[in-house]
Structure formats: C-alpha cells, structure tokens
Amino acid sequence: MRRVLAWLAVIVTGLLLQSTLFAPPNGFTLAGARPELMYLITIVMAMLEGPASGATAGFLAGMGQDFLSTAPKGITALALTLLGYVVGQLRQYIVTPSPLLPVVLVAAGTAFGVLFNGLVRFLLGQHVTALYLARVALLSAAYNAILTPIFYPVLRRTAEASRTKRVTRW
C-alpha cells in the first residue's frame, strides 16, 4: 500500500508541476515546447520497477493528464501504458551501468511516445501536421533529457523507500 501511495503522490506532483510551472503561456518552455513530465515519470518507473509497474504508472499518469486537457480522453493513457510496458521490457536486456542510460531512455521514450500520441490523434481525425509533431517530439525529448538528472535521483529514492523491507530473524 505504501508503494501505491508513494507513486500516486509522484504522479499527482508531476501533474501539478506540468499544469502550473510548465504550462504553455507563461511557464518554462523550450522554444515553445513544454516538458512531458508524465512521460518522464512513466519511463523512470518502468526502468526501476519493470514492465507491469511501468504500464500501470503510464495508465494512471496518462488518464490524469487526459482529464486535465481538452483532448479526447484515453489517447495519452494508451501511449503512456504502451511506453511504460515497452521500456520496462527493454530495460531487462540493458546491462550497462552508465549514468547516461536514464537520460537516453527518457529522451528516446519521450520522442517515440509523443510521436505515437500524435499519430493516434491524427487517426482519430484531429488536425496534426507532421512538421509540428516532429518539432514538439524532439523539443519535448530534449527538455525531458535536461530534466532527467534532476528528477531521476528523486524518483529512484522514492522507489527504494517505498519497497517493503524484509526482516530476517536468526
């Protein structure tokens, strides 16, 4: 139960930061694009906890983001659920201890996630231009890559602190 509450607090905090501090008109943007904190949280969760937890976190984060936007509900949740599962599966096969691994995975995952989200929106009849989508995907990926060294240690400590500790008696 402690794990669920800790990760829900992380997701709610991310949603609050994204909708206030990084909101488009007056928030911190990078050439007009904002960071996608829900993508960052989902990817880090999948890296640390595996595909099932990554998919669950992606679904919850995506639904939270969808309910705060005017876009059709469920598109972001679909993209983040698939992203969390895929990153969790990929992480099992990557054995490098490089500190750049989270940055690279977050940047690549964000770019692919935003592109997939835009593709689904296009298939559902929303007007999305390919050039605009590519620009937003690359800028959001760059922004998330910049923010990863700041957020990754906090998310890793949250994951470690929320794990149940086994007590062994002699």
What whole-number distance in Å separates Cα of residue 157 and Cα of residue 10?
12
Averaged pLDDT score across all residues of the chain: 88
For 31, list phi and psi in degrees, rounded to 5. Answer: 55, 40
- Cα first-last separation, the chain: 27
Q: For residues 67 and 73, is the Cβ–Cβ distance under 8 A?
A: yes
What whole-number distance in Å separates Cα of residue 162 and Cα of residue 88?
19
The arithmetic mean of pLDDT across residues 91-98, rounded, is: 83
Residue among 152, 118, 123, 160 nearest 135 (CA): 118
Task: Spell out the long-range contacts of 116-125 with Cβ–Cβ below 8 A and sequence spacing 24 or more.
Answer: 116/79, 116/82, 116/83, 117/75, 117/76, 117/79, 120/75, 120/78, 120/79, 121/71, 121/72, 121/75, 124/72, 124/75
149-160 residue pLDDT tens: 999 999 999 888
Q: What's the whole-model pTM score?
A: 0.89
Q: Answer yes or no: is pLDDT of 22 > 80.
A: no
Q: List beta partners, residue 33.
A: 30
Domain spans, the chain: 2-162
Q: Please give the CATH number for the structural domain made up of 2-162.
A: 1.10.1760.20
Q: Answer yes or no: is pLDDT of 31 > 80.
A: no
113-145 residue pLDDT tens: 999 999 999 998 888 888 988 999 999 999 999
Q: Answer yes or no: is pLDDT of 104 > 80.
A: yes
> Which pLDDT band holds residue 167 (cuts at 50, 70, 90)?
low
Cα 60 vs. chain centroid, distance in angstroms?
Answer: 11
> Which pLDDT band holds residue 83 (cuts at 50, 70, 90)?
very high
Q: Answer yes or no: is pLDDT of 40 > 90.
A: yes
What whole-number distance in Å separates Cα of residue 140 and Cα of residue 37?
9
